[in-house]
Amino acid sequence: MHLSLEHLTTDFLPEIVALDRACFGKLWSTEQYQREFDSPNSDILTLLRVDSREILAYGCVWEIVDEAHITIVAVHPAQRQQGFGKLMLWGLLQAAIIRQLARATLEVRATNTTAIQLYEQFGFETAGRRKKYYADTGEDALILWKGGLRNSTCHKQLTAVRQNLYQKFQQQSFDLIVSLDTAGNTEIGSAAS
């Protein structure tokens, strides 16, 4: 299977809203997603099957001064446990680095141990708690931070994550094309046979 990690276009707005419903119930409205597409301070990335253009995962990051605020990391429920969430988080951090941001933050449900473990693998640390943050359940959110996006240690870590993902995808017979920069350059990995 050929996969592409790329910037999302408004052509996929109905599919993103449907996936939002499947993953979160109703996190954002169609209008909220449209605002993200229109904002110069927002990157929405998607992981697509190249042949069918099916969305497997998507994520959003905001630029706020020199910080990356990761607002969404979503993987289609039928596509979980394949490394797609890890790839999406890697892509969002790469988008932040392309924007030359210094650090990243996000909120996560305090009970979402799978997501928390993923974020910790990338060096995120708990910085605080927002009481009753999630309106649907009244659940608390943990506030996570990762500094050092501009330093070589972070770049080496992200390079290692990318290489591990490419190896994993190759074992699953996935080819991956990454197109994240605004110049249209692409990176191809996991040349599966």
pLDDT in tens, 65-113: 999 999 999 999 999 999 999 999 999 999 999 999 999 999 999 999 9
The domain that contains 184 carries what CATH number? 3.40.630.30
Q: Using a cut of 0.85, tell me whether the model's pTM lies above it.
A: yes
CA distances for 138 relative to 29, 104, 111, 141, 172, angstroms: 20, 25, 12, 9, 39
Structural domain that includes position 7 = 2-189
DSSP-assigned beta bridge partners for residue 104: 68, 146
pLDDT of res. 182: 56
Average pLDDT on 152-174 reads 91
Q: Of all residues in the chain, what percent carry a pLDDT higher than 90?
A: 76
In the chain, the number of structural domains is 1
pLDDT of res. 134: 87
- Helix ranges, the chain (H): 13-24, 30-38, 84-98, 113-121, 152-171
CB 148 within 8 A of CB 154: yes
